[in-house]
Amino acid sequence: MCQYSAKDGVPNDWHLVHLGSRAVGGAALVLTEATAVSPEGRISPADLGIWNDEQVNAFKRITDFIKSQGAIPGIQLAHAGRKASTKTPWIGDGIVPEPEGGWQVIGPSPVKFSDNYPQPREMMSADIRKVVGAWADAAKRSLEAGFQVAEIHMAHGYLLHQFLSPLSNRRKDEYGGSLKNRMRFPLEAAKAVREVWPNDLPVFVRISVTDWIDGGWDLPQSIELAKELKKIGIDLIDSSTGGLLPGAKIPIAPGYQVKFADEIRKEAGIMTGAIGLITDPAQAENILVTGQADAVFMARELLRDPYFPLHAAKSLGDDPNYPNQYLRAKPR
């Protein structure tokens, strides 16, 4: 989740992605996390979004700076669905009531994420068309704002993932039931973004490869989804897991999700990104060198250590450029 200050609109949670040589020229990609395609798509009232021109102008200052430093600005476009209208994490947990700035949330079925989350309204066909349009409009605004990579968020129990998993999608129409039907809306959203995004710029999709719950979304279904996403021109699958239901038993350990990126890369024939407790430079380098993934996504380690890229470069024997103001502190 990408949170920001409502006062100045500056995001403080970004991914740094180290891309292999076959993805965006091997450069570093600085990627916003969940950026809502509509006000109702925010997780909390304090979330980042890109549904109006004022937001485009604010982002332009940031993307210009990222480019000036030799990096690539990317944006993760998201809709929280039934996990929306909740409190900003550092304030507390629970629902934000509509009189206090919350809103009616939507989802594939009228099934809550948990007792501490709002009751979703089941989406009608008109709602689905509206949200697909919101994704396309957000992608257009992202281009205007100077972003060069778009990532569609289909993971972590947010709206598109809610449609994919049979644990949250109880529909009986063309958007529920079979795997083909459950993939329909997510693929429509991905196609809408890909159609407005230039052919020479990448579009990624973040998925939760497994719900970690029996009877839920899993690796074989993710491979089929990845194959379909490849057909519509998606360039890379950002391979995360979980988030659909509370209480899932996840075997967390360093690099515990890398195997999923590796499997999707092999079986679907599409580039993948690895994520999840990747905190060590040698660990990240090994994932790329051994071909387990084409990119490594990092976020929390950068919050702990904002100078991680410099420390990583030194430990791997590289000689990175330092700003002139920092040269006297460069390790010798």
Q: Is the pLDDT of residue 24 over 90?
A: no
Asked if CATH classification 3.30.1490.190 holds for the domain at 14-298, the reply, yes or no, is no
Mean pLDDT of 149-175: 98
Task: Report the distance separating Cα 185 and Cα 129, nearest Å.
Answer: 9
Query: How far is CA 35 from each of CA 29, 47, 87, rounded to the nearest angstrom?
Result: 16, 7, 16
- Report the share of the chain in percent with pLDDT over 70: 92
Least confident of 13-17, 35-39, 82-86, 317-321: 13-17
| Residue 69 pLDDT grade (very low, low, confident, very high; cuts 50, 70, 90) | confident
Three-class HEC string of the chain: CCEECCCCCCECCEEEEEECCCCHHHCEEEEECCEECCHHHCCCCCECECCCHHHHHHHHHHHHHHHHCCCEEEEEEECCHHHCCECCCCCCCCECCHHHCCCCCEECCCCCCCCCCCCCEECCHHHHHHHHHHHHHHHHHHHHCCCCEEEEEECCCCHHHHHHCCCCCCCCCCCCCCHHHHHHHHHHHHHHHHHHCCCCCCEEEEEECCCCCCCCCCHHHHHHHHHHHHHCCCCEEEEECCCCCCCCCCCCCCCCCHHHHHHHHHHHCCEEEECCCCCCHHHHHHHHHCCCCCEEEECHHHHHCCCHHHHHHHHCCCCCCCCHHHHHHCCC
- Residue 6 pLDDT exceeds 60: no
The arithmetic mean of pLDDT across residues 20-24, rounded, is: 34
Question: Hey, which residues does 78 pair with through a beta bridge?
Answer: 36
Span of 32-46, 172-186, 315-329 with lowest mean pLDDT: 315-329
Average per-residue pLDDT for the chain: 91
pTM, whole model, 2 decimals?
Answer: 0.91
Give catalytic residue positions.
Answer: 158
Question: Tens digits of per-residue pLDDT, 262-311?
Answer: 999 999 999 999 999 999 999 999 999 999 999 999 989 989 998 888 88
**19 pLDDT more than 50:** no
189 versus 308: the higher-pLDDT residue is 189
Look at residue 72 and tell me whether its pLDDT is greater than 90: yes
Q: Is the pLDDT of residue 9 over 90?
A: no
pLDDT band at residue 322 using 50, 70 and 90 as cut-offs = confident
Q: How confident is the model at residue 27 (pLDDT cuts 50, 70, 90)?
A: low
Beta pairing partners, 104: none
52 contact partners, CB below 8 Å, separation of at least 6? 141
Percent of residues, the chain, with pLDDT higher than 90: 81
pLDDT of res. 120: 98
